[in-house]
Homo-oligomer: A and B are copies of this chain.
Amino acid sequence: MIKMSFKNVVHTWVKTCSRSKSKYQPFSSLFDSADTLKKQQESESKPAFSLETYMTQKIKSINEALDAAVSLKDKEPRELHEAMRYSLLPGGKRVCPLFCIASCELVGGTESMAMPAACAIEMIHDAALIQDDLPCMDNAHLRRGKPTTHKAFGEAVAILAFDGLLTLAFEHIALCTPTTVPPARIVRGIGELARCIGAQGVVAGQVFDVISQRESNVTLEHLEYVHLHKTAAILEGTVVLGAMLGGGSDEEVEKIRSFARYVGWVFR
């Protein structure tokens, strides 16, 4: 029941997003879709879907899976693994992993099919935060109310914790995704994720961000590029990966991709 209602929420959004052929549509379409959704929910006789309950349950499962994924048991060097855990647990909102699982469920997959991928997304997200905070980037001293990773462990270990989390993300998807997911889906999903977070996605956005900090005359177009790549691209990789692992058709995957670009934009 929860899954079906959540599907309605996302489906309505996705339908609205994919109506036009242009890549980015007016934001008002999102409000139109919210109205449609409200009417749809009113006409339903089924018990109301609680987004809060859904999110609480999923975030609990995600946090448990993350804790197990970066266990310290028998791991050396201790300092590296402690830095990875420090950056990953606890404190994150887990928005991206939640979207990854929801996207997988939306196309008929299960939570377990997407859980390693969801954890991987969080690892990538938190690795990016370590890097954003570095002295040569934002030179931040605090993150989520505690010292940034390079302040707590030193710059060299922080950079290596970034590497550890990023590579663990790919290892985790490849080795921990259950056998109920055909390997072809996993390969496609890994390729898509890497493309979205790489030099034509998130990394491109970060470089434009660095460039914009050097320049005195930053255009709106430049800022749009930064946000679309830094935020929308990771969300795109997240939900497209979830949908691919869940067995979504090409059409479903593309609709979900449009949805992610909207949400990524609005989120920023």
The CB with the most chain B CB atoms within 10 A, among A137, A159, A174, A195, is that of A174
Q: Is A191 an interface residue (CB 8 A)?
A: yes
Q: Is the CB of B163 within 8 A of A131?
A: yes
Q: Is the CB of B131 within 8 A of A159?
A: yes
A199 to B154, CA, bound (A): 17
Q: Is the CB of B186 within 8 A of A159?
A: no
Q: Is A42 an interface residue (CB 8 A)?
A: no
Picked from B160, B184, B210, the residue with its CB within 8 Å of the CB of A183 is B184
A210 to B187, CA, bound (A): 34
Q: Is A101 an interface residue (CB 8 A)?
A: no
Q: Is the CB of B210 within 8 A of A156?
A: yes
**Among residues 49 to 99 in chain A, which have CB atoms less than 8 Å away from a CB atom of chain B?**
75-77, 79-81, 84
Q: Is the CB of A204 within 8 A of B76?
A: yes
Picked from B167, B182, B199, the residue with its CB within 8 Å of the CB of A203 is B167
Closest to A208 in B: B77
Q: Mark A183-208, 1 if CB is under 8 A from B, else 0.
A: 11011101100110111100110111
Q: Mark A206-235, 1 if CB is under 8 A from B, else 0.
A: 111011000000000000000000000000
Q: How many residues of A contact B (CB 8 A)?
A: 48
Picked from B80, B203, B206, the residue with its CB within 8 Å of the CB of A204 is B80
Picked from B136, B171, B206, the residue with its CB within 8 Å of the CB of A198 is B171
Q: How far is the CB of A181 from chain B (nearest CB, A)?
A: 10
Q: Is A254 an interface residue (CB 8 A)?
A: no
Q: Is A108 an interface residue (CB 8 A)?
A: no
Q: Is the CB of B207 within 8 A of A194?
A: no
Q: Is the CB of A170 within 8 A of B170?
A: yes
Complex interface: chain B residues within 8 A of A164 (CB): 198-199, 203
Picked from B76, B79, B154, B187, the residue with its CB within 8 Å of the CB of A186 is B187
Q: How far is the CB of A148 from chain B (nearest CB, A)?
A: 14
A266 to B190, CA, bound (A): 34
Q: Is A166 an interface residue (CB 8 A)?
A: yes
A197 to B174, CA, bound (A): 14
A68 to B216, CA, bound (A): 35
14 example contacts (A-B, Cβ-Cβ < 8 A) are as follows A75-B199, A77-B207, A77-B211, A79-B207, A80-B199, A157-B207, A167-B197, A168-B194, A168-B198, A170-B170, A170-B190, A170-B194, A171-B194, A187-B190
